[in-house]
Structure formats: C-alpha cells, structure tokens
C-alpha cells in the first residue's frame, strides 16, 4: 500500500492477538508504530520480537480507560515519534454472560475498555489531527455489535456503541480531511476466541454454528486469522481508501450473512 512508509501509527491493545498483528502489518508497510497497552512487560516482549524483524516499533504502557494516561501517552508519542497519522483502537475485553445474569462488574469493565477507551483515545488523537487536516483512524469492533449472540449481550452492546461513536466522529471531522472507519471481525483465531471454548470441539463448533444458540456458522468454513483483520485495517487507513469514511467493514467469512 503505497504512501504508508514513514508515517506514524498508534495501536492500542497492541499486545493482543489482533492488535499485535495490526502492529506488525503496519510496521511491515513502513510505518513507525507506537505500541500501547496496559501490560508493560507484554509490550516490551512484543517490541523486542518485532524489532528482531527490523520493524520500527516503540512500546508505551498506558491504561486507555484513564483520561490522564491517554492524554499523557499521546503527547509522549508525538514528542518522541512525531505527529500521528493513524490511530487503531484495538484494545478490548470480553466477558461472557447472559443478559439477565451478567455481573455489573463485567458490564462496567467492558464498557470502560471497549467504549470509553475508544472515546478517550480517539478524542486525544483526533483533536491533534484536526489542525493538521490529515489523519485516519480505525476502530476494531465486532460483528456481534450488529447481530444478537447468546451470552454476549454486554460485549455486543459495547461494540455497537464503539462503532456508532466512530462513525459519528467520522461525520463530524470529515470537513477536516480526517477519515474514521470500523473493522468488525467475526470469530478470529486468537486467545479471546479460545477462551470461549469448553473443549477441543470448540473450533469446529464455531465454524459449524449452533441451532441451539441461533448462531449461523461461517460460510467460508474457516476461522479468520489475525492477519485477515490486520489487512482490512491497513487498507482503510491507507490512501487507497482515501474516499472511504464512516464505513464498517465486516470480516467474518459470511457469518452474519452480509447483513
């Protein structure tokens, strides 16, 4: 994707399965990448690994749910790496539970990371982009934000909220030349998905779907790989998507039947 080399990106949730692959993909395209996550040790391990591949990455530990830490880390990134061209909101947590029995703690934690974190980081970065009249961001949401999933009421609600916020932000800052898009993965081969499985049959059950839970399987017959999501993110950030904003790109192998 021509034109990405030399640009600077900030990726939250960088130590996660999708976040780390997004960071690797952007760095592989020549971006200088700020790796942001709460776990400093995991960030350092990831940074060391990516540097052995000769990628330009720098770890910055921060909690995206805290406004002061978000403002501080964005200021530090721009002071050390230069003005941000791209933001990827990849930080996210999943807590399973039926709508009637999900704990208040799990509900609040998911909203803190998946929604408030997106708001705080987007605000901090985009307010710096506006005077420069340049920039693009992608929020990683989920296909569960638009399709009901048993046991995922809280998670799906947070992803719907983060998608709506991102697309509305895109509407408001379009006149400043800033694009805001959403990538919504389906079942992706990461530790988050694995945590939902009860036994070794989980992979095939996810692909096949379940009548008992009213869940359609995956028409392509396979799980998404983190690289599938990362490629979609990179495209929407790139100049090749220069006339695309307020869009939600679903990467789920057809699991939501194109809806």
Where residue 3 falls among pLDDT bands split at 50, 70, 90?
Answer: confident
Per the CB < 8 A criterion, the answer to whether 60 and 74 are in contact is no
Protein fold of 8-251: Rossmann fold (3.40.50)
Which of 86, 155, 164, 165 is an active site residue?
155
Average pLDDT, the chain: 96
Q: What pLDDT does 1 receive?
A: 73
Q: Let me know if 230 is exposed, middle or buried by CB neighbors in 10 A (0-12, 13-18, 19+).
A: buried
pTM of the model: 0.95
Which two three-digit tokens encode residue 111? 């909203």
Q: Which helix (H) or strand (E) holds 234?
A: helix 226-237
Lowest mean pLDDT among 112-116, 209-213, 229-233, 248-252: 209-213
108 — pLDDT class (breaks 50, 70, 90) = very high
As given in the structure block, the two tokens for residue 179 are 């694009």
Question: Is 164:121 a contact under the CB 8 Å cutoff?
Answer: no
pLDDT for position 2: 74
Cα torsion through 92, 93, 97, 102, rounded to 10: -100
* Distance, CA of 135 to chain centre: 17
Q: Residue 155 catalytic?
A: yes
pLDDT in tens, 172-197: 999 999 999 999 999 999 888 888 78
Q: How would residue 167 be classed by pLDDT, with cut points 50, 70 and 90?
A: very high
pLDDT tens-place string over residues 73-101? 999 999 999 999 999 999 999 999 999 99
Q: Residue 201 — very low, low, confident or very high, per pLDDT cuts 50/70/90?
A: confident
Q: Where are the domains of the chain?
A: 8-251
Residue 198 has pLDDT above 80, yes or no: no
- Name the band, by pLDDT with cuts 50, 70 and 90, for residue 36: very high
Token representation of residue 247:
């869009």
pLDDT tens-place string over residues 48-68: 999 999 999 999 999 999 999
What pLDDT is recorded for position 42?
Answer: 95
pLDDT at 227: 97
Share of the chain above pLDDT 70, in %: 100
pLDDT confidence band for 259 (50 / 70 / 90): confident
């Amino acid at each position: 994707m021509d034109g990405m080399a030399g640009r600077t990106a900030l990726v939250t949730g960088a130590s996660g399965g999708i976040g780390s692959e997004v960071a690797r993909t952007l760095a592989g395209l020549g971006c200088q990448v700020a790796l942001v996550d709460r776990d400093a040790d995991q960030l350092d391990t990831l940074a060391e690994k990516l540097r052995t591949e000769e990628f330009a990455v720098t770890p910055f530990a921060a909690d995206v749910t805290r406004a002061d830490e978000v403002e501080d880390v964005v200021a530090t990134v721009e002071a050390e790496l230069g003005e941000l061209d791209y933001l990827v909101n990849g930080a996210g947590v999943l807590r399973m539970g039926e709508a009637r029995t999900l704990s208040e703690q799990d509900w609040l934690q998911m909203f803190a990371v998946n929604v408030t974190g997106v708001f705080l980081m987007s605000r901090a970065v985009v307010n710096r982009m506006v005077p420069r009249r340049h920039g693009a961001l992608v929020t990683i949401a989920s296909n569960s934000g638009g399709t009901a999933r048993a046991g995922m009421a809280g998670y799906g609600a947070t992803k719907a909220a983060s998608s709506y916020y991102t697309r509305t932000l895109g509407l408001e800052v379009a006149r400043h030349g800033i694009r805001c898009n959403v990538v919504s993965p389906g079942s992706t081969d990461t530790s988050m998905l694995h945590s939902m499985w009860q036994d070794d049959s989980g992979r095939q059950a996810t692909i096949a779907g379940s009548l008992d839970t009213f869940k359609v399987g995956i028409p392509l017959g396979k799980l998404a790989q983190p690289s599938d999501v990362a490629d979609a993110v990179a495209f929407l950030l790139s100049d090749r998507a220069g006339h695309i904003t307020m869009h939600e790109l679903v990467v789920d192998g057809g699991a939501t039947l194109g809806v």
